Amino acid sequence: MTPALVFDCDGVLADTERDGHLPAFNETFEHFGLPVHWSEDDYASVLRIGGGKERLTSLLTPDFVTRAGLPSDPEAQRAAVTDWHAEKTRRYTARVRAGDLPGRPGIARIVHEAHDAGWLLAVASTSAESSVRAVLEHVVGQDAAAWFAVFAGDVVPRKKPAPDVYELAVRELGVSPTDVVVVEDSANGLRAAVGAGLTTVVTISSYTADEDFTGAALVVDSLGDLPDTPDRVLQDPHHVEPTGQVTLDTLTELLRLTGGRP
């Protein structure tokens, strides 16, 4: 069967959290006059929650609702969260389109390698689809972005670490789980991909370096781009030993070693 390469978005295509999502959240709080401002440490804790709407919903404690002057009706609160999330997405997307968030090393390179070799390409993310597509076009270019299927936002009811979005991607791509390599950056993302039975490479990002990546087929600091930004291998349980950059040959070997393609 045709192999597929599926990327998470935030932290994988670009290191978006600190310089993209966090300031967009805080600008949104200020815009709506909400009594909250997330520090980098606050946001590190918030990131354990999958999905932007879900992170905003976590604010709705009784004390916060009172201080913010929000309605007590759950339906009205959901509508408010929807408005906040739309504003946050608009602000975040503007940052991406302004070129403030450079792509991570090796992404554009391996996307072209995979496409040229006939692999299917996809992104599976808890972020809003418009945000994902903006990052994707910025990192790989508009033409290459058209090669991708995108599974994002509320396309599944349960978000990572639940495996739902990856199970959906496998079904919609029409591939076997044994023919899929996922690139993730977080423990939640890894749990989601492994829960769907997928071989997973982790490229740590600014907020995830200290997380537990047990179950990953390979952990590196980036996919690498020689000669300027070689990768650093952190965990290599299958001894594929990428030398400076993770290549399509590396991913093919991981599939073979983890029970995927021969």
**In a shared domain, residues 27 and 75:** yes
27 three-class SS: helix
Please report the pLDDT score of residue 90 as a whole number.
94
3-state helix, strand, coil in the chain (%, to 5): 45, 15, 40
- Collect all residues with Cβ–Cβ distance below 8 Å to 51 and sequence separation of at least 6: 126, 127, 159
Domain presence at residue 238: yes
Position 58 pLDDT exceeds 70: yes
If residue 180 lies in a helix (H) or strand (E), which one and from where to where?
strand 180-184
Same domain, yes or no, for 56 and 110? no
Which of 257, 228, 230 lies closest to 246, judged by CA?
230
Based on the residue annotation, tell me whether 8 is a catalytic residue of this protein. Answer: yes
**C-alpha closest to that of 39 among 28, 30, 26, 52:** 26
Q: Do 109 and 227 reside in the same domain of the chain?
A: yes
**pLDDT over 60 (residue 16):** yes
If you average pLDDT over every residue of the chain, what do you get? Answer: 94
Residues 129-145 have a mean pLDDT of 93
| One domain, residues 91 and 53 | yes
Same domain, yes or no, for 88 and 179? no
Domain end residue (candidates: 57, 78, 97) = 97
Report, as an integer, the average pLDDT of 54-59. 96
Q: Are residues 43 and 8 in the same domain?
A: no
Q: Which CATH number covers residue 85?
A: 1.10.150.240
The pLDDT assigned to 261 comes to 46
Q: Which residue has the tokens 């982790």?
A: 202
Domain membership of residue 196 as a residue range: 4-15+102-257
Residues 121-148 have a mean pLDDT of: 94
What confidence score (pLDDT) does residue 259 get?
78
Instruction: Using alpha carbons only, give the angle 11, 186, 210 rounded to the nearest 5 degrees.
Output: 105
CATH number of the domain encompassing residue 11: 3.40.50.1000
Contact 111, 2 (CB under 8 A): no
Choose one of 69, 97, 125: the last residue of a domain.
97
Q: Residue 194: which pLDDT band, with cuts at 50, 70 and 90?
A: very high
Beta strand 120-124 with 148-151 is parallel
Catalytic status, residue 10? yes
- Evaluate if residue 102 carries a pLDDT over 90: no
User: Of 79, 97, 115, which residue constitutes the final position of a domain?
Assistant: 97
Answer whether 132's CB lies under 8 Å from 101's CB. Answer: no
pLDDT in tens, 153-180: 889 999 999 999 999 999 999 999 999 9
Can you give the pLDDT at residue 246? 98
Given a contact cutoff of 8 angstroms between Cβ atoms, the answer to whether 56 and 85 are in contact is yes
Q: Does 262 reside within a domain?
A: no
Q: Is residue 53 part of a domain?
A: yes
Residue 237 included in any domain:
yes
Determine which helix (DSSP H) or strand (DSSP E) holds 233, and give its type and residue range: strand 233-235
Residue 137 has pLDDT above 60, yes or no: yes
Report whether pLDDT(18) > 70. Answer: yes
Verify that 112 and 228 share a domain, yes or no.
yes
Catalytic residue among 10, 15, 221, 231: 10
Average pLDDT over residues 77-81: 97
Q: Are residues 128 and 206 both part of a single domain?
A: yes
Q: What are phi and psi of 143, to 5 degrees?
A: -65, -45
133, 219: one domain: yes
Closest by Cα among 157, 163, 150 to 190: 163
Q: Rounded to an integer, what distance in angstroms lies between the CA atom of residue 168 and that of residue 152?
A: 10
pLDDT value of position 260: 56
Summarised one tens digit per residue, pLDDT across range 198-233 is 999 999 998 898 999 999 999 999 999 999 999 999
15 vs 47: CA distance, rounded Å:
13
Does 241 share its domain with 117? yes
Q: Are residues 149 and 54 in the same domain?
A: no
Number of compact structural domains in the chain: 2
- Does residue 248 carry a pLDDT above 80? yes
Domain co-membership, 111 together with 201: yes
